[in-house]
Amino acid sequence: MLFSRTDRTTLLPVHVTSIGYWEHQPETEREEGFPDYQLHQTIRGVGEYIVDGRTIRVGPGEAFVLYPGVRHAYRPVSKPWEMAWVAFNGREAGALLRYAGWGASGHGKVAEGGLLESFRTMLGEDSLSYEANLTRSHGMYALLLELGRAQTAGSREQDMNRIRPIIDFIEYNLHRPLSLGELAEAADVSPQYLCRLFQKTIQMRPLQYVNLQRVGRAKQLMFGAPGRRMHEVARDVGFDNASYFGAVFKKATGFSPEQFRRLYGLPDAE
């Protein structure tokens, strides 16, 4: 068990406050919760968590996140219950956990056959120096990103396989107007289901995705043919109205198409 010095690392977006490993995790109860975020990963055996009136069992390859100030208890169901744990905090800790799929205390599948690599690296750094604390904070950031990939990889891959044909369809048809109904028909699903699938997989609506792809294609056209007039660029990426194209472009990039040209030193169309 190591307790990190946090005098300078508190300035970082996320920092480790303590980290440890138990060959057999004993029963623990905290009526007032814990002041930091906690992440536990079960390596071997089975444990049980009681949080917010819920009782949840975790086994090898599963992790449990506990948010600060939340009353909780956990106890072994088998012996041994082998576990690694880390406590952490920082101004971006909550946001990174939400990215990883934990908006509240709860569990998830994170690994197959052993400790997550970033976790292993942090546990191997047994110094209390500032440099070691910095390394652990870097490792904690990497661990949260690793958790995000582990949490979403399986289901995301399945969902991406479902929408990949429609993404290809969009790519081939960016030069013309596309409606939600046409996209749903091309995917052989209802418009409502297509919207849910896009929101779940890429966190945006189908037509929002289409517009972002149009903006990306427009940027390529501006660089590929710098003298092309803006209404021609708009037409070539599927917009009938150049003014609407300009509004969509500015909403996506923060710049009007003309400002974008000047920002990258492209000549104005003649």
Q: Is residue 99 included in any domain, yes or no?
A: yes
Instruction: Give per-residue pLDDT as tens, 53-101.
Output: 899 999 998 889 999 999 999 999 999 999 999 999 999 999 888 888 7
Q: Is residue 269 included in any domain, yes or no?
A: no
My answer on whether 259 and 201 are in the same domain is: yes
Which CATH number belongs to the domain containing residue 219 in this structure? 1.10.10.60
Q: For residue 195, which amino acid is it?
A: C
Residue that is written with structure tokens 């081939």 in the block: 172
Query: 226 CB contacts (<8 Å, ≥6 apart)?
Result: 261, 266, 267, 269
Confidence of residue 269 (pLDDT cuts 50, 70, 90): low
Distances from the Cα of 170 to the Cα of 16, 212, 238, angstroms = 44, 11, 11
Domain boundary among 122, 152, 182: 152
CB atoms near residue 35 (< 10 Å): 11
Task: Answer yes or no: are the C-beta atoms of 42 and 83 closer than 8 Å.
Answer: yes
Q: Is residue 165 included in any domain, yes or no?
A: no
Which CATH number belongs to the domain containing residue 54 in this structure? 2.60.120.280
The mean predicted confidence, pLDDT, of the chain is 86
Between 120 and 69, residue with greater pLDDT: 69
My answer on whether 97 and 181 are in the same domain is: no
CA 98 from centroid of its chain's CA atoms: 7
Cα–Cα dist 6/3, whole Å: 9
Q: Is residue 168 included in any domain, yes or no?
A: no
Domain boundary among 97, 121, 152: 152
Query: 239 CB contacts (<8 Å, ≥6 apart)?
Result: 177, 214, 245, 248
- CA 131, 133, 139, 145 torsion-angle sign: negative
Q: Is residue 42 included in any domain, yes or no?
A: yes
Query: 70 CB contacts (<8 Å, ≥6 apart)?
Result: 33, 34, 51, 52, 105
For range 198-226, the mean pLDDT:
88
Q: For residue 107, which amino acid is it?
A: H
Q: Point out the least confidently predicted range of 67-71, 131-135, 243-247.
A: 131-135
Domain count of the fold of the chain: 2
My answer on whether 112 and 191 are in the same domain is: no
Q: Is residue 166 included in any domain, yes or no?
A: no
Q: Is residue 253 included in any domain, yes or no?
A: yes
My answer on whether 220 and 88 are in the same domain is: no
For the chain, first and last CA: distance in Å?
69
Neighbouring-strand partners of residue 55 = 50
Q: Is residue 268 included in any domain, yes or no?
A: no
Query: Residue 121: is its pLDDT beyond 90?
Result: no
- Host domain of residue 31: 2-152
Task: Answer yes or no: are the C-beta atoms of 149 and 117 closer than 8 Å.
Answer: no
Is the backbone of residue 7 left (phi > 0), alpha (psi -120 to 50) or beta? alpha
My answer on whether 19 and 104 are in the same domain is: yes
pLDDT the model gives residue 243: 93
My answer on whether 14 and 130 are in the same domain is: yes
